Each structure stands twice: as C-alpha cells, then as structure tokens.
C-alpha cells in the first residue's frame, strides 16, 4: 500500500465515524419528536426518568384509570377525568400488583363508592 491509499482510507474512516455520530445525535433528538407527533404517548423519557403507560381502563366516556410505570420506582394508578388527574395509589417497586388483581367490577365499585 502506498501513502496515497492510506491517506484515502484514513479520510474515509474519519467520514464514516462522523456520519455515524451525526446519525446517533439526530436520532436521539428526532425519535421522541416523531413518536410524539405520531401520537404514541405510551412512553415518556425525560433525562434519566422514564414513564410508561402499562394499561388503560375506560370507566365511562369521560373517565379512565391509567396504570403508569416509573422505571425502577414502582407504579402509580391514576384516575383521569374531565376534572383533571387524581392519584389513586402509588405502588413501590417491592409491591406492584399483578394486573389480574384489578377487575373491571372492582374498579367500577371503587368509583361508585367515591374512591375515584
């Protein structure tokens, strides 16, 4: 290999590293915006914190229960309605209930009794 070939190879390698780094930066900036524009709201990441919607249950046309996972910190059960968002309960990471523990009739009963 002559010196000219090594120089061209070096320039190509530098360009490849630059393009890969640029792609990573653009995708890290662009991907959340594309998901938000598409309406995918099941995962929200801000800095080192990540929230993920595990499950939604509509109680009626205006009210729903939403189970939100806080990465490494457990889960939160929220009631969302026309009057805003209410925290029903917070589960730490040691005691997160299985989804089978919640049935629609139990949640409806809690709503009728004034629990949310």
For residue range 48-74, what is the model confidence (pLDDT) as tens digits? Answer: 777 888 888 888 888 888 888 887 778
d(CA 21, CA 11): 15
pLDDT for residue 16 is more than 90: yes
d(CA 36, CA 43): 10
3-state secondary structure at position 24: helix
Across the range 89-103, mean pLDDT stands at 63
Question: CA dist 59 to 25, 53, 64, Å?
Answer: 42, 17, 5
Q: What percent of the chain has pLDDT over 90?
A: 11
Across the range 69-81, mean pLDDT stands at 84
Residue 101: pLDDT band with limits 50, 70, 90: low
Six-digit token string for 54? 């595990």
Six-digit token string for 17? 């590293």
Please give the residue that has the higher pLDDT: either 68 or 31: 68
Which pLDDT value is given to residue 12?
Answer: 93
Q: Which of 97, 113, 112 is nearest to 59 (CA)?
A: 112
3-state secondary structure at position 97: coil
Q: In this structure, how many other beta carbons lie within 10 angstroms of the beta carbon of residue 77? A: 21
Which pLDDT value is given to residue 19?
Answer: 96
């Amino acid at each position: 290999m002559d010196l000219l070939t090594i120089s061209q190879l070096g320039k190509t390698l530098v360009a490849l590293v630059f393009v890969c780094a640029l792609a990573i930066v653009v995708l890290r900036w662009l991907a959340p915006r594309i998901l938000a524009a598409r309406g995918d709201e099941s995962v929200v990441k801000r800095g080192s914190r990540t929230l993920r919607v595990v499950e939604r249950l509509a109680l009626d046309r205006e009210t729903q229960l939403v189970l939100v996972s806080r990465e490494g910190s457990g889960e939160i059960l929220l009631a969302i309605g026309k009057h805003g968002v209410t925290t029903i309960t917070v589960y730490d990471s040691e005691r997160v209930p299985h989804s089978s523990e919640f049935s629609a009739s139990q949640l409806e009963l809690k709503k009728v009794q004034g629990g949310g």
